[in-house]
């Protein structure tokens, strides 16, 4: 039986972006309840997400970006303590409260420590049930509910600190990971493959966006279901992924392409997420001893999110066993 890690931290529940915001702490509660009820939780190796070091975040982000977020966080805490607002709005969708800075460091820290454990062979693979998500954060900007690009921080860490030669990120969130694409754009040691709905926020992800031959976008149309998803994933992502031959695969695991999700217009079901996880698992077994680090991104219908994560994590556990 292989070992699958589950990384999270209570600090990830303290980050909130205002009443009614879909990217809310209840997402993590729903996931963990479901993992418990389904019995999946018992077989997982539970670990606390550490705080990422600024030196590691800097592998994927400008120093100014970190300084700006930290400065805003300090200012917010000071103003709130003096009776001011508990939130600072960075854009129409993205806000910080006094816990956001720490939660964002925990989310990136989960990616780092999961990468360490998987590369060391201590865990077969890992899922990080953390928030805030990351794939919209560019090298220099927070946006779309994201502050630090967790998958990019983990991938850069694997290259720089572990000496891996090639790391792939596969992203099946309904939104395009513009931030990951931005950070990976001119680095041929990094691969980014994404299925996503177009047109939809953030507007990037066209077939013509190819970086240095390392970016593989597979846009789908609103209303597309499992068949179109599997076809695009197979032809546009799996083939190039096998050619790339990764030493580690990181998943941007967003579940907002589910048919019940309020933010997306695709019509995937749990079986499609299982299929994608198995397909990624086969690639990982062939190229990198099954090494996979999966990071939670979107997914906003709590029931669909929880069921989809349970299926995804169960499939990760079954890989290689
Ligand atoms: Zn999304």
Q: Could you report the average pLDDT of every consecutive run of 10 residues in the chain (321 residues)?
A: 88 98 98 97 97 97 98 97 96 97 98 98 98 98 98 98 98 98 98 98 98 98 98 98 98 98 98 98 98 98 98 94 68
Task: Write down the pLDDT at residue 304.
Answer: 98
Q: Which residue in 179, 172, 118 sits closest to 150, CA to CA?
A: 179
Question: How many Å apart are CA 247 and CA 289, to the nearest integer?
Answer: 8
How many Å is the Cα radius of gyration of the chain?
A: 18
DSSP 254: -
For 155, the 3-state DSSP assignment is helix
Integer Cα distance of 219 and 204 in angstroms: 10
Can 136 be counted among the known catalytic residues? yes
Give 47 Cα–ligand 1 centroid separation in angstroms: 25
| 127 neighbors 315 (Cβ within 8 angstroms) | no
At 2 the pLDDT is 59
The CA distance from 282 to 4, in Å, is: 16
Catalytic residue among 61, 136, 175, 312: 136
Return all residues near 79 (Cβ < 8 A) that are at least 6 apart.
Answer: 85
> Across-strand partners of 292?
125, 249
Q: How far apart are CA 236 and CA 207, in angstroms?
A: 9
The per-residue b/e assignment along 188-227, b for 16 or more CB within 10 angstroms, e otherwise, is ebbbbbbbbbbebbbebbeeebebeebbbbbbbeeebebe
Tokens found for residue 174: 């309904």
Distance 172 CA to ligand 1 centre (A): 9
Distance 246 CA to ligand 1 centre (A): 24
How far apart are the CA of 174 and the centre of ligand 1, in A?
5
- Residue 105 CA, ligand 1 centroid: distance in Å: 20
Q: Answer for the pair 136, 178: CB distance below 8 angstroms, yes or no.
A: yes
Q: What is the pLDDT of residue 265?
A: 98
Ligand 1 centroid from CA 256, angstroms: 6
Pairing mode of beta strands 88-89, 95-96: antiparallel
Distance of CA 21 to the CA centre of its chain: 19
Cα–Cα distance, 137 to 320 (Å, whole number): 33
Task: Output the CA 259–ligand 1 centroid distance in Å.
Answer: 13
CA distance to 123, 147, 162, 294, 308, per residue, from 139 (Å): 29, 10, 21, 21, 29
Residue 1: what pLDDT? 44
Residues 303, 321: Cα–Cα separation, whole Å = 28
């Amino acid at each position: 039986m292989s070992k699958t890690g589950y990384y999270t931290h209570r600090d990830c529940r303290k980050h909130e972006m205002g009443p009614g915001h879909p990217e809310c702490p209840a997402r993590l509660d729903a996931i963990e309840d479901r993992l418990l009820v389904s019995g999946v939780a018992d077989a997982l190796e539970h670990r606390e997400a550490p705080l990422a070091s600024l030196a590691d975040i800097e592998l994927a982000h400008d120093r100014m970006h970190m300084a700006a977020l930290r400065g805003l966080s300090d200012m917010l805490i000071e103003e709130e303590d003096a009776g001011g607002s508990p939130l600072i709005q960075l854009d129409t969708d993205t806000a910080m409260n006094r816990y956001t800075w720490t939660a964002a460091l925990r989310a990136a820290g989960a990616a780092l420590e999961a990468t360490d454990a998987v590369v060391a062979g201590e865990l077969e693979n890992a899922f990080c049930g953390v928030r805030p998500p990351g794939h919209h954060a560019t090298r220099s900007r927070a946006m779309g509910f994201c502050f630090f690009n967790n998958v990019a921080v983990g991938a850069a860490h694997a290259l720089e600190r572990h000496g891996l030669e090639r790391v792939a990120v596969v992203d099946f969130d309904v939104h395009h990971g513009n931030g990951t694409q931005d950070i990976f754009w001119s680095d041929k040691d990094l691969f980014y493959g994404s299925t996503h709905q177009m047109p939809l926020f953030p507007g990037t992800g066209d077939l013509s966006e190819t970086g240095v031959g390392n970016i593989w976008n597979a846009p789908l149309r609103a209303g597309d279901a499992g068949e179109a998803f599997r076809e695009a994933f197979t032809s546009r992502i799996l083939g190039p992924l096998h050619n790339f031959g990764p030493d580690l695969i990181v998943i941007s695991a967003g579940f907002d392409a589910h048919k019940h999700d309020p933010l997306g217009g695709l019509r995937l079901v749990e079986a499609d997420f299982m299929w994608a996880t198995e397909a990624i698992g086969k690639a990982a077994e062939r190229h990198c001893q099954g090494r996979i680090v999966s990071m939670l991104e979107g997914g906003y219908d709590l029931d669909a999110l929880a069921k989809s994560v349970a299926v995804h994590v169960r499939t990760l556990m079954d890989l290689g066993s």
